[in-house]
Chains A and B, each alone.
Chain A
Amino acid sequence: MTQSEGGGAPPKWGPHNTVRVVDPSPVNWLSITWNTMEEPNRVDHDGIGQPSLAESFTWVDDETLEMTMRDAVYQDGERFDAHMFKLGFDKVQEWDNPHPPGAFLNFAPDVTCEAIDDKTIRMRFPGKDSAALMKLRGMHLPSTRFWNEWGFRDPETGSAEGHW
Chain B
Amino acid sequence: MLTSGTSTLKGRTDEVVMEPNETYWNPARKPKVRIVYDNAIDKAEAIRSVAAGDGRVDVVFDVVPDVAHAFRSDRAKIQAKRSKSVLTGVFNENKPNSPWVKPELRRALNLALDRERILKDGAHGYGEIMPVFIQQGRYGSDPALRPFAHDVGTAAHLVEEGGLKGQKVVIVASPTYGRVVDEIIKDLHEIGLQGKAVITREEPPEDWDVKLEWYFDWSPQYPVGVVHREFFGKGGILRHAPEDAGFDRLYEKLLRTVQQPAQEEVVREVERYCHDQAKALFLYSPNTLFAVSDRVGFTAYDTCMSELAETVVKD
Contact = CB atoms under 8 A, between A and B. Distances in A.
A143 to B, nearest CB: 4
B237 interface: yes
A26 B152 CA distance: 38
A45 B21 CA distance: 20
* Chain A CB within 10 Å, residue with most, of B7, B62, B258, B302: B258
A24 B46 CA distance: 10
Contact of B23 (A41, A74, A103): A74
A20 B53 CA distance: 12
Contacts of B222: 130-131, 133-134
B301 interface: yes
Given A20-B57, A23-B62, A103-B235, A142 B219 contact: no
Contacts of A27: 305
B34 interface: yes
Main secondary structure of the interface of B (DSSP, over half): loop
B306 A24 contact: no
Contacts of B138: 47
Contacts of A131: 222, 225, 255
Contacts of A141: 4
Interface residues of A, number: 65
A71 interface: yes
B198 interface: no
* Chain A CB within 10 Å, residue with most, of B58, B138, B301: B301
Interface residues of B, number: 72
Interface stretch (A2-10, A32-40, A110-118, A154-162): A32-40
- Going nearest first, the 9 A-B pairs with the smallest beta carbon separation are A49-B220, A47-B302, A134-B222, A143-B2, A31-B306, A72-B25, A38-B4, A22-B46, A23-B61
Given A35-B7, A41-B220, 18 more contacts: A18-B35, A18-B36, A19-B58, A20-B38, A25-B304, A32-B18, A35-B35, A36-B6, A38-B3, A38-B6, A45-B301, A47-B217, A59-B258, A72-B24, A74-B23, A103-B235, A133-B222, A134-B225
30 contacts: A17-B313, A18-B33, A18-B35, A19-B35, A20-B36, A20-B59, A21-B306, A22-B43, A25-B62, A28-B37, A30-B218, A35-B7, A36-B9, A36-B18, A37-B4, A45-B299, A47-B302, A48-B221, A49-B221, A72-B25, A76-B2, A102-B237, A128-B257, A131-B222, A133-B221, A134-B222, A137-B218, A146-B1, A146-B2, A146-B3
